Amino acid sequence: MNYVEEINKLKKEKNAIILAHYYQKGEVQDVADYLGDSYNLSVIAKNSDAKIIVFCGVTFMGETAKILSPEKKVLMPHKVLPCKMANDITAKDLLEYKKKNPDRIIISYVNTNADIKALSDCCVTSSNALKILEHYKDKKILYCPDKNLATYAKNKYGYDIDLWNGNCNIHDELTVDDVNKLKAEHPNALVLIHPEARFDVASLADYAGSTKGIIDYVNKSDKDEFIIGTECGIIHELEKKNPNKKFYLLNKCLVCKFMKLISLEDVYNCLKDEKFEIKVDEEIRSKAQKALDKMLELS
Ligand code: 13P
Ligand code: SF4
């Protein structure tokens, strides 16, 4: 079966669009109507007129699309695609924290489940976190669950931020030695790192930013070589848009295994059978939407 042809037919028949995160397999990125980072994809989901959205990413991303677009059918090619970081915080623990710290503004990363967003004052993604934290700079803040991004903002700008003990395991594994080793091998390369890396590692970057931020940086740069400190899926788009530039992945650990589970066959079955549909409890959804709308307002 030619999955690409069949997927394109089904998309037209059903008034559906496919959104894919840059960490997806290349073949899935190529069949998507829109590629993006977690921020861009949430905006596209909100503004689209399509009846069906097929979200190729991890579960919190599909859930975010559903929270912002409750009238649309949001489908994902697998029933559950967990994000390690999103599972580093539970509503029970956050509620306990809030009771003990009623004066702290709760800023949650979009890499969280809907119940955490519902308990938050504002959400952020890696592409707008620093801007939004600046908005709250005179407040006492809890930034959850990504300890590394929070440490970056706290150390760089001196904000009053409480840290949560969560992280992304693959970005957290990057080390200063990885950077020094690759810089020695490729002395002319610029270093671009996702801020989910540890502070000492992200501080060595020529640019630290979201996946879309890294792609925009490369597209605009007149340099030819780049060391990439984020998930390997991003290389597909970087090479497509910049065939004459060279990219070196900072460490071979940079593979998000749940992002890589989705195949073209899964996308086809998802559209054909209209499953797996994302459902979010309405009370949680409407509260979570407020935190996401606040993010869109401040972005
Ligand atoms: P972006 O905000 O750059 O899309 O990152 C999402 C993510 O899961 C990074 O690990
Ligand atoms: Fe989550 Fe890390 Fe995968 Fe991003 S790369 S989806 S933070 S586990």
Domains in the chain with CATH codes: 3-82+259-279 (3.40.50.10800), 86-169+285-298 (3.40.50.10800), 174-249 (3.40.50.10800)
Q: What is the mean pLDDT of each run of 10 residues along the chain (299 residues)?
A: 97 98 98 96 94 98 97 97 98 98 98 98 96 97 97 93 98 98 98 97 96 97 98 98 98 97 98 98 98 97
Task: Express each pLDDT in 40-60 by its tens digit.
Answer: 999 999 999 999 999 999 999
Q: Which residue has the CA at smallest separation from atom 8 of ligand 1? A: 111
The whole-number pLDDT of residue 250 equals 98
**Ligand 2: does its nearest atom lie under 6 Å from the Cβ of 260?**
no
Atom of ligand 1 lying closest to residue 22 CA? 4
> What's residue 94's pLDDT?
98
Task: Identify which of 150, 145, 198, 212 has the alpha carbon closest to the alpha carbon of residue 170.
Answer: 198
Nearest CA owner, ligand 2 atom 5: 256
pLDDT on residue 116: 98
Going 165 to 168 to 171 to 174, the CA torsion angle's sign is positive
First-to-last alpha carbon distance for the chain, in angstroms, is 43
Is residue 15 left, alpha or beta, with left meaning phi > 0 and alpha meaning psi from -120 to 50? Answer: left
Packed helices 59-68 and 38-47: angle between N→C axes, nearest 10 degrees: 30
Rounded distance from Cα 175 to ligand 2 centre (Å): 17
The amino acid at 293:
D
| pLDDT value of position 242 | 98
Predicted local distance difference test score (pLDDT) of residue 130: 94
Indicate whether residue 128 lines ligand 1 (CB < 6 A).
Answer: no
The whole-model pTM stands at 0.97
Residue 91, C-beta contacts closer than 8 angstroms, at least 6 positions apart: 113, 115, 116, 118, 119
pLDDT tens for each residue of 236-253:
999 999 999 999 999 999
Gap from CA of 259 to ligand 1 centroid (Å) = 11
> Residue 18: in which H helix or E strand, if any?
strand 16-21
